[in-house]
């Protein structure tokens, strides 16, 4: 799986976005970029296997087993 953090002006400052979700605003572009790189690095840290429950957009609940070492490919896009 591939995920991309995007850097852009947002809410009176700079922020990073994943999908439709924005981070808190940062006062500078460089601070938002650094925060996005830190978030991307955390995505690479493995954990323990787990059972997760989540609700899909159609309102149904699902349960899945996930492997702690199954990490996405992460990119930070700064355009």
Per-residue pLDDT tens digits for 48-63? 888 989 999 999 999 9
Please tell me the predicted confidence (pLDDT) of residue 44.
84
Could you read off the pLDDT of 14-73 as tens digits, one per residue?
A: 999 999 999 999 999 999 999 999 999 998 888 888 898 999 999 999 999 988 888 889
> Is the CB of residue 71 less than 8 Å from the CB of residue 44?
yes
pLDDT of amino acid 11? 94
Reported pTM: 0.72
Q: What local confidence, expressed as pLDDT, does residue 63 receive?
A: 94
What length does the chain have? 79
């Amino acid at each position: 799986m591939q995920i991309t953090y995007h850097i852009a002006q947002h809410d009176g400052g700079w922020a990073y976005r994943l999908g439709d979700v924005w981070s808190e605003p940062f006062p500078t572009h460089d601070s938002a970029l650094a925060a996005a790189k830190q978030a991307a690095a955390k995505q690479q840290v493995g954990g323990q296997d787990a059972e997760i429950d989540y609700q899909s957009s159609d309102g149904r609940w699902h349960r899945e087993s996930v492997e702690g070492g199954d990490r996405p490919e992460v990119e930070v896009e700064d355009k």
